[in-house]
Structure formats: structure tokens, C-alpha cells
Homo-oligomer: A and B are copies of this chain.
């Protein structure tokens, strides 16, 4: 009888030893508890999925075009879906988008994984926000990236700090060519970088010869119809610096794994090669359904409803926070997306507090795993996407009862 360590010794690669469990997904078993009010999983609400329309589209596509939608597809992806995405991105000002710059992927997580493999060698320094999205960090770590955090303020990352750190890393003889940012309704913080901060980041990328990964799954989900978020970094670029990731997960549904990455065609060619080795092709059916959904206007027609759905839940959460939060707390005021970020008094430890909260019937994600520097013990992420306004109100009340007792 050998132990795990003995069995694995000499069998598992260095790459495998770099893999880190995703702290959010590791919580999933905890969240199956009946009656739990969950602010933990940052998944879109199933109430926003147009199930009947998707059922109709799926049945028709499979019956009438089964020989196409049940067969292997091209690695670069469904051409119709690609066409719709190119049109949408050009309409959003990312004028350099082209079929040669676009790769369709099995969710944005796959795009992050392919980018990490194509752009990061073990030991390369990659800059990310403090806090940042755990799935993106996981991919960058898996590729061997040495992740260095940059402070995130209310209007975006601290660019002076970024410049100082890039120069310091390079003066030490190390490679530092990549920044990972989520400028709009950030996961986990809910923060949106200002227009001027975006322009300054693109300018700094040019000055320092950096590539920027702009991860943008939430920007369509803004709450005030008259106030969309600032233009994307990618729209301020000419196609050499910024790599742009988008997804249908929050505006259609995530079970159909349909997302995209737009990059300089030279990089995109390598992403396609990496995807070929990763899975040959995405689900042909998923991407065919997604193309039909866009053709029918199933996303655009439903966006106003999706926006007000999340706006109402965010408002309920902010109102409850305003009423319940103990002195010394602060939180972000998101104008879109799925998340509010809470900073508790410095003496609180959100990880230690979680068990008591789950016992009291409310769950969240402790903030520390989102910080590559190990800080953030007194922070937590609240997703307002799953629960209805009354449950949000009750959950925040329970949560701060525990905080106050702690």
C-alpha cells in the first residue's frame, strides 16, 4: 500500500504541481445546503435564460442540420457566430476585429487558458489587479506565471505603481510583458475603471511595450440604460496591444460554452493552434445555437430585461448594506455586473467567519483568494445574481448579525 505522495512522486509534472484549486469552485458542495441564501457563486440567474426559445432553436437545428451541428467543427469556430461577434465588436468600437483576429472558445476560461499558454513562460511576471478573478489567476499560475498585484482604486488600477513595478522587474532582468485586467464591473470588486484610466493604461502599454488582456464578460450588464460603461481598452487600441475577451455566459446562458478572444492575428494564429491541441473544437451544437440566438435578436431584445433584473438585486443589496453594515465597513457601488465587494473592519477575518455565516444560512466568498499577495483577509465578495430581493435583504441582515457578533 503506497501513500498518495509515494504514488505521485515521479509521476506528476511540474505543471501539475503548479495547479491551484479555484477557491470559489471548491465551495460548491457547501452551497447545495437547502435554504441557504447564497451570495457565493458568481453565476448568472437561470431566470434570465430564454429556455423556451433555446429549446426551439436547438430542436430545429438538430433536426434540420444534424449532419452539421452534431459533427466536428472547425477549430477557429462556427463562421456564422464569428460573423455576428465581429459585427458586434466593431459596433462597440473595436474596429480592428476581423475573422483572423477572432477565436471562438469554450467559455472565457478557455480563452484565459489558451492565452496563458501562448503568452506566459514559467517565471515570467504577469501583472494583475488586487483583487482579481480567480479563474484568470489560476490559468496564469498554471502556465508558471509569477503574478504581481497592482492596487485597484475606485477608478481603476494604480498605473504609477504598475509602471514602477514593470521597470523594477525588468531592471532585475526578468520578463514582464503582460497585464491582466477586468476594467468593467470587475469580478470580484464590482469596480469599473474610468475612461481616463483606460486611456492611460493603453498609453502606458504602448510606452512600456506591454500586452494587455482585457477580460470583459460583464459590460453589457449595466444598470442605467442611459449610462453604459466607458469604451473598452480594446477600442482605444489599434490591434497590437490589447487582447479582448467576451462571452455570452451572462447575456444568454453559460451552459452553452460560447465566448471569444480577439487578438492581433499573429497571436490569434497561435491561440488557434493551442485550441486545436486543447479540444479540436468547441461544442458544435452550443455554438450553432448561439449563432441562431444572436441572429434572432435573442440577446439584444432581452438585454434591457437582464439589466433591470440585476439592477433591482444590486439595489436591494446596497440598501441592505446601508442599513445593516457595522461601523468600519465599506463597500463598492457597482453600476453593473453581478458583484458587490465588502471591506470589513480590519480585525475581521472573512474566511474564519464563513462557517458561522453558513450555519446562520448565508454564504459568500472570502476575499483573500482574489489577492495574489495574500492580503484581503477582511474582505468578501457578494454576488447578488442568485437570490431575489427579499432573500438578499434577509441574507445581508444575517451576515451582519454575525459580523457584529464577531
Residues of A within 8 A of B (CB): 4, 7-8, 10-16, 19-22, 25, 28, 43-44, 46, 49, 51-52, 54-56, 58-60, 62-63, 66-75, 106-107, 109-110, 113, 117-121, 124, 135, 138-139, 142-143, 175, 177, 211, 240, 249, 253-257, 264, 266-267, 270, 273-274, 276-286
**Residues of chain B lying within 8 A (CB to CB) of residue A13:** 117-121, 124, 143
**Residues of chain B lying within 8 A (CB to CB) of residue A15:** 117-118, 120-121, 143
- Pick the contact of A240: B7, B43, B270, B284 (CB < 8 A): B7
CB distance from A22 to the nearest CB of B (A): 5
Complex contact B276–A138 (CB within 8 A): yes
CA–CA, A126 to B292, complex, Å? 43
Tell me which of A13, A253, A274 has the highest count of chain B C-beta atoms within 10 A of its own C-beta.
Answer: A13
**Residues of chain B lying within 8 A (CB to CB) of residue A266:** 4, 7-8
**Residues of chain B lying within 8 A (CB to CB) of residue A177:** 10-11
Closest to A49 in B: B70
CA–CA, A70 to B293, complex, Å? 14
- Pick the contact of A19: B10, B124, B277 (CB < 8 A): B277
CA–CA, A404 to B400, complex, Å? 84
- Pick the contact of A72: B14, B60, B255, B286 (CB < 8 A): B255
Complex contact A253–B70 (CB within 8 A): yes
Closest to A42 in B: B72
CA–CA, A146 to B10, complex, Å? 17
**Residues of chain B lying within 8 A (CB to CB) of residue A14:** 121
Complex contact A280–B143 (CB within 8 A): no
Complex contact A16–B284 (CB within 8 A): no
- Pick the contact of A254: B58, B72, B75, B256 (CB < 8 A): B72
Closest to A67 in B: B46
Complex contact A282–B257 (CB within 8 A): yes
Tell me which of A55, A68, A211 has the highest count of chain B C-beta atoms within 10 A of its own C-beta.
Answer: A55
Closest to A4 in B: B266
CB distance from A107 to the nearest CB of B (A): 6
CA–CA, A164 to B266, complex, Å? 43
| Known contacts A106-B106, A177-B10; A255 and B283 CB within 8 A of each other | yes
| Known contacts A13-B121, A51-B62, A59-B58; A19 and B274 CB within 8 A of each other | yes
**Residues of chain B lying within 8 A (CB to CB) of residue A71:** 43-44, 46, 49, 253-255
Tell me which of A44, A60, A139, A142 has the highest count of chain B C-beta atoms within 10 A of its own C-beta.
Answer: A142
